[in-house]
Amino acid sequence: MSNFAAPPPQRRTDVDLATRYDIERFLYLEAELLDDQKFEDWLELFDDDIHYWLPTRTTRTVRERDLEIAGPDGAAFIDDDKAFLAGRVRRLASGRSWSEEPPSRTRRLITNIRPIRLESGEFEVRVNFHVLRSRAERHHDTFFGERTDLLRRIPQEPGFHIARRRIVLDTTTLLAPSISIFL
């Protein structure tokens, strides 16, 4: 899929405090839905043309730093559209997802929310995150990284839809046995 090409350059402006508050509230709602395992409700936060992308990362020298994160044609841990995300949600709800039976418990912390209004009227929002996953009795995984979301304002609650999500983990090696949760 990997159609996560960079959009053409647009004029970017800061958002006012009310818009920042609305965006933060939306992101906190999303985290709550995921931690409460309300995956069907979470899926409704996405536009139909969503691209949910987690590219791989490699360690590079200073001179090659711009090649550290795989591009649109490179390798990705996750490269999903809405239909694929819906399939993952159905599988989790079925009780037949071996990697999530019993279900993981998660806690998401999102910080450093940096929204920018684009000329198109959409919002680019960069967010740092920490996700803790606890499974069974003794298994714990932690994921740290940054997300870049493209949000579109909608007239009804919760006020936005996610049109694009790019997730970049801080680690180059995935130490967890799988990424069966949503980041």
Over residues 27-60, the pLDDT tens digits come to: 999 999 999 999 999 999 999 999 999 999 988 8
Q: What is the pTM of this model?
A: 0.88
Helices in 36-78 by DSSP H: which ranges?
A: 39-43
Which strands sit side by side in the sheet containing 76-80, from one edge to the other? Answer: 12-14, 105-118, 123-135, 139-153, 160-169, 46-55, 76-80
In the CATH scheme, what is the code of domain 23-169? 3.10.450.50
Kindly report, residue by residue over 114-165, the tens digit of the pLDDT: 999 999 999 999 999 999 999 888 889 999 999 999 999 999 999 999 999 9
Backbone phi, then psi, for 163, in 5-degree steps?
-100, -30
Backbone phi, then psi, for 27, in 5-degree steps?
-65, -35
Task: Say if CB 52 and CB 78 are below 8 A apart.
Answer: yes
Widest CA span of the chain, in angstroms?
50
Q: Which of these, 48, 62, 55, lies nearest to 5 by C-alpha position?
A: 55
The CA-atom distances, in angstroms, between 165 and each of 95, 101, 138, 179 are: 27, 26, 31, 16
